[in-house]
């Protein structure tokens, strides 16, 4: 098959959680640029609606904007049901919704721990389960979990002091590998992307105030850009990765190679 056809997503349906801004919007835009129709969801639906309007106007794809708290099973099921009602199928799921909490381990409360684990781990499970049931009926699908390089390596507290975030992303990586084994028989491919430092609303303060600590540990000498993740999600969502499952694609400027 021509390599350009391998990456063509025309007519595919992609659900992107946390898709209204930041990395989620970068993932959504990449898939739309390849022709996919989108379902964007977040807790603040007004942001989703604005992102959806922009993508419709700029790229001419169909975009459904929905409110969804990924820790709430009825809302997650509603997300899956509405996607099928609107488009008839779900071909791609990008589990991007996530939060962090930075503070020393000795000061982290159980409530803070549970909140991050609920969104990052339980939310990934619930969305995977709901979309996966549809993919099983279809006989195929692509699931892309957004992990982090923090789930693969440790970090000095001066660089990143969030034990619960790194733990949750390590869990997402283990979840990815085991789900790939569980659902391979259904032709559902499950992979993860592990970014390092990218400018977002959440990371803005850290990148501004700890640049001198972080950049020396990145061989490429810069933070990620607004397009550095597009190729990764395009590859894992498309037919180009049809023999790739249970893998973690690290996009970190080489920081984990030190």
The residues annotated with a catalytic role in the active site are 165
d(CA 100, CA 119): 9
Contact 252, 194 (CB under 8 A): yes
* Closest by Cα among 97, 35, 86 to 60: 35
d(CA 6, CA 17): 24
Within the chain, strands assigned E span 13-17, 37-42, 63-67, 92-95, 141-146, 188-195, 248-251
Q: What are the angstrom distances between the C-alpha of 194 and each of 75, 110, 155? A: 26, 26, 15
| Token reading at 98 | 């996530």
């Amino acid at each position: 098959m021509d390599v350009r056809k391998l990456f063509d997503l025309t007519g595919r349906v992609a659900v992107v959680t946390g898709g209204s801004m930041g990395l989620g919007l970068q993932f959504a835009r990449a898939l739309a640029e390849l022709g996919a129709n989108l379902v964007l969801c977040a807790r603040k639906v007004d942001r989703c609606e604005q992102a959806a309007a922009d993508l419709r106007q700029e790229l001419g794809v169909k975009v459904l904007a929905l409110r969804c708290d990924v820790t709430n099973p009825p809302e997650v099921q509603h997300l899956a049901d509405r996607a099928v009602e609107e488009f008839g199928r779900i071909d791609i799921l990008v589990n991007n919704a996530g939060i962090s909490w930075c503070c020393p381990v000795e000061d982290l409360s159980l409530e803070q721990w549970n909140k991050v684990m609920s969104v990052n781990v339980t939310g990934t499970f619930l969305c995977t389960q709901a979309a996966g049931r549809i993919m099983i009926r279809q006989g195929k699908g692509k699931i892309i979990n957004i992990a982090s390089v923090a789930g693969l390596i440790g970090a000095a507290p001066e660089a990143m002091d969030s034990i619960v975030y790194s733990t949750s992303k390590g869990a997402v990586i283990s979840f990815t590998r085991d789900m790939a084994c569980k659902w391979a028989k259904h032709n559902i491919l499950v992979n993860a992307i592990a970014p390092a430092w990218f400018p977002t609303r959440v990371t803005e303060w850290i990148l501004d105030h700890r640049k001198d600590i972080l950049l020396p540990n990145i061989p490429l000498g810069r933070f990620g850009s607004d397009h550095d993740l597009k190729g990764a999600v395009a590859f894992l969502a498309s037919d180009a990765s049809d023999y790739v499952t249970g893998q973690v694609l690290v996009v970190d400027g080489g920081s984990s190679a030190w």
